Amino acid sequence: MAPGRKIGGISDWVGARAALPPSSHAPRWPPARLAAVESLWGTGYLSPGGQAETLRLAKPLGLGTETTLLLLEGGIGGPAEAIADTFGTLVVSLDADPELSVIAEQRRAAEPNGRRVRVENWDRDRPALRRNSAHHAMALEALRGAPVAPVLESLAGALRPHGRIVLTEMVADVAPPAADREFAAWCRLDNRSPDLPRVDVVTAALTSRHFDVQVIEDLSDRHVSATLAGWRGAVKEMATGPRLPAAAAGIFVTEAELWLLRIRLMRRFGFRLLRWYAIGAA
């Protein structure tokens, strides 16, 4: 199935296994949740933007058949597949969530061009990326509250001379109050630590590792527009399609809470989604 293509919309996941197992060990990504998320953002994607935004982010890296890309937080494989198919690049896709890595590997093995993608797991709290293992890197909100310095130290060491980095991250100029209920709910739903970095901390971490930061772009408006567009399409389809079972509707409501909280917090506290583009030294 082509990356970024809708899986058929809301009606296609009505019959999916919607109920979460009644266990404290219930998976975060059961089939019904994956189907709901992909009906919003496209096959293989867990967040807004899909294939078009992935390729826009990758374009400055100058990828080709002779390059290797290290992709942090590759999710269930959509970004890696799109990059490998478009540029012929060998993509090493890593995710800190073992559940997502297993799903990504299962999907990779079923793809005709899966040999251009390698799936691995990583630990953002104790990163140990293989040194000199890739030409370039993309990190898609890879920090998620982890300390900036260790992650970027490991990422810089994984690249060869003149390696290029594209990094996206949600930043906060002022930390929200620890007791803020909406912020705490968002962190829980998004499975992240509450420690959002400041833009100057990320920039300083790159420059201290001899990267020339050439671009810092605010993606916030694009991100919010893509998020709202996905939800508008889903609501329109639900209005004209079959009635969702209660369990499936509950999954969908939880996803809505996650993304609408994100937008609300961006407006309340001035959170921004930024993109860094940096080139390493020789």
**Cα distance between residue 150 and residue 171, in whole Å:** 17
pLDDT at residue 128, as a whole number: 93
Instruction: List pLDDT tens digits, range 97-146.
Output: 999 999 999 999 988 777 899 999 999 999 999 999 999 999 999 999 99
5, 59, 79, 213, 217 from 164: Cα distances, Å? 28, 11, 17, 10, 16
**Cα distance between residue 192 and residue 189, in whole Å:** 8
Instruction: List pLDDT tens digits, range 40-85.
Output: 899 999 999 999 999 999 999 999 999 999 999 999 999 999 999 9
Instruction: List pLDDT tens digits, range 212-233.
Output: 999 999 999 999 999 999 888 8
Mean pLDDT for the chain overall = 88
Domain assignment of residue 28, yes or no = no
Helices assigned H by DSSP within 132-178: 148-158
Could you tell me which of 115, 114, 113, 163 has the C-alpha nearest to residue 138? Answer: 163
Structural domains in the chain (count):
1
Q: Which residues, 6 or more positions from 157, have their beta carbon under 8 angstroms from its beta carbon? A: 129, 131, 132
CATH number for 94 = 3.40.50.150
pLDDT-derived band at 12 (thresholds 50, 70, 90) equals very low
Domain assignment of residue 32, yes or no = no
Could you tell me which of 169, 177, 229 has the C-alpha nearest to residue 198? Answer: 169
CB 216 within 8 A of CB 203: yes
Domain assignment of residue 251, yes or no = no
pLDDT at residue 85, as a whole number: 94
CB 112 within 8 A of CB 87: no
Domain assignment of residue 206, yes or no = yes
Helix (H) or strand (E) holding 229: helix 220-240
**Cα distance between residue 271 and residue 279, in whole Å:** 26
pLDDT at residue 111, as a whole number: 82
Domain assignment of residue 134, yes or no = yes
Domain assignment of residue 26, yes or no = no
Domain assignment of residue 31, yes or no = no
pLDDT at residue 25, as a whole number: 61
The residue segments making up the domain with residue 117 are: 41-175+195-232+270-280
Domain assignment of residue 19, yes or no = no
